[in-house]
Amino acid sequence: MRVLLIEDDESIAEPLAEGLARYGLDVGRVATGGAALAGPFGDIVLLDLGLPDMDGIDVCRRIRQVSQVPIIMLTARGEEADRVVGLEMGADDYLAKPFSMRELIARIRAVTRRTRAAAGHLPDGAVAPGGVPGVAGEGAERDGGPYRLGALVVDRRTRQAWVRDALVALTPKEFDLLALLAEDPGAVCSRQQILDEVWDPHFHGPTKTLDVHVAALRRKLGDPAWIHTVRGVGFRLVVPASRN
Ligand code: CA
């Protein structure tokens, strides 16, 4: 998927582009509205509203005049009025700075899923009302829908997780951490990657925070074996061996 990132602030654009690339997205970067309007828009547009040459809202309106590409506005605090106008001008969603990589990816997935569904494609991963989501099979529906890993089901859309059909009560950060690890089971997520994506690309707090959340998540999942510590590197999610 190709992303057009319209952001004049290097200190924001740089880590964003790197983060998006880690998710396999192909990022095109421009720093002005003029360059953005020259295109190409790619498959999704991330639009900073505070641009040096023109109002982001105008950029949004002019893109919408020529394209139905999904647009997510990146707004600063205090731009509530702009968000409303932007949505009226055809933006699909907005994200208030500062946001985590995790939130941005979730928003990109949601917006592209919605616009695909609106275009007549089938929505991903049907969910049974009130219950554990219907899951096609092991490792299915990686594209934002619910998926099953052994006894664990993770549903990003409702931000819920189940172990053996019992809902697990998770804090937002615990859910984000679980969802990140569950995205590529068995693969190691480095501590820095987790801090970047679950917390913030500019997270400078104590990394002990991460260990506290991992410990809580292990406890809530009912078996510490779900999350392996890879010493000196990070963590990975594995389906524990059955104890029967
Ligand atoms: Ca800006």
> Do residue 96 and residue 200 come from a single domain?
no
> Do residue 166 and residue 106 come from a single domain?
no
Burial degree of 206 (CB within 10 A; 0-12, 13-18, 19+): exposed
CATH code of the domain covering residue 159: 1.10.10.10
> Do residue 166 and residue 205 come from a single domain?
yes
> Do residue 101 and residue 176 come from a single domain?
no
- Distance from the alpha carbon of residue 111 to the mean position of ligand 1, in angstroms: 22
- Distance from the alpha carbon of residue 6 to the mean position of ligand 1, in angstroms: 9
CATH code of the domain covering residue 11: 3.40.50.2300
- Residues, CB within 5 angstroms of ligand 1 (ion): 8-9, 48, 50
* Residue at 12: amino acid letter: I
> Do residue 107 and residue 150 come from a single domain?
no
The structural domain count of the chain equals 2
The answer as to whether 106 is a domain residue is yes
> Do residue 146 and residue 212 come from a single domain?
yes
- Distance from the alpha carbon of residue 210 to the mean position of ligand 1, in angstroms: 30
The parent domain of residue 63 ranges over: 2-118
> Do residue 104 and residue 145 come from a single domain?
no
Whether the full predicted model's pTM is greater than 0.85, yes or no, is no
Is residue 82 within 8 Å of residue 57, measured between CB atoms?
yes
| pLDDT tens for the chain, residues 1 to 244 | 899 999 999 999 999 999 898 888 899 999 999 999 998 999 999 999 999 999 999 999 999 999 999 999 998 866 777 888 888 888 999 898 888 888 898 889 888 877 766 665 434 443 333 344 444 444 434 445 677 888 899 988 888 999 998 999 999 999 999 999 988 778 888 888 888 888 876 666 667 889 999 999 999 999 999 999 999 889 999 988 765 4
- Tell me which residue has tokens 């590197």: 233
> Do residue 87 and residue 169 come from a single domain?
no
Domain closes at, from 54, 84, 118: 118
